[in-house]
């Protein structure tokens, strides 16, 4: 069974590879990821967060609660305006930090069958997509927040590690 990797695990800094085989294994991985995400009470999960270096994300639309699996996702358009918002991450458990994100995005991807998709998202759903796609390039919310916030969170994580 997979487990969610947390900050400090080198796999989170890896760049994921494009998916080229849309087979039963990919569909099973996406299903497993949705279960892991739901069990952890998250709204998004990237394959790299469970140690699989494939360009696959799963998420729920926060407005409709509909679950999605996106393969080889890429942001192809984004708003000029960025909005600050609080984000948590299953790989940085117990913390929320302020992160600037585009207000809306257009993403192109495939579903797990290999069919092309084009998704227009705004507000929280746009934030979720940007967050999860960042993971596929080895980028964490700590890389997108202020230096002060990053230092604060990393200090608490270090102190917890030393205390245990």
Annotated catalytic residues are 132
The answer to whether residues 22 and 110 touch, using CB atoms and an 8 Å cutoff, is yes
- The beta strands (E) that lie in the chain are given as 44-46, 56-60, 67-78, 82-89, 92-102, 104-110, 116-122
The answer to whether residues 113 and 71 touch, using CB atoms and an 8 Å cutoff, is no
- Note the residue count of the chain: 164
The answer to whether residues 105 and 78 touch, using CB atoms and an 8 Å cutoff, is yes
Residue 101 dihedral angles phi and psi, to the nearest 5° = -140, 155
Residue 124 CA to residue 131 CA, distance in Å, equals 10
Structure tokens at 43: 């709204």
């Amino acid at each position: 069974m997979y487990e969610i990797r947390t900050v400090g695990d080198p796999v989170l800094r890896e760049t994921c590879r494009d998916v080229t085989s849309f087979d039963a294994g990919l569909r099973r991985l996406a299903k497993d990821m949705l279960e892991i995400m739901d069990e952890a009470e998250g709204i998004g999960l990237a394959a790299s967060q469970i140690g699989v270096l494939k360009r696959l994300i799963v998420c729920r639309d926060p407005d409709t609660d509909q679950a999605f699996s996106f393969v080889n996702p890429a942001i192809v358009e984004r708003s000029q305006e960025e909005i600050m918002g609080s984000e948590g991450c299953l790989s940085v458990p117990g913390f929320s930090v302020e992160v600037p994100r585009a207000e809306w995005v257009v993403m192109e991807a495939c579903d797990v069958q290999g069919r092309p998709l084009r998704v227009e998202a705004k507000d929280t759903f746009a934030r979720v997509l940007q967050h999860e796609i960042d993971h596929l390039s080895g980028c964490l919310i700590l890389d997108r927040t202020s230096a002060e916030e990053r230092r604060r969170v990393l200090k608490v994580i270090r102190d917890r590690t030393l205390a245990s």
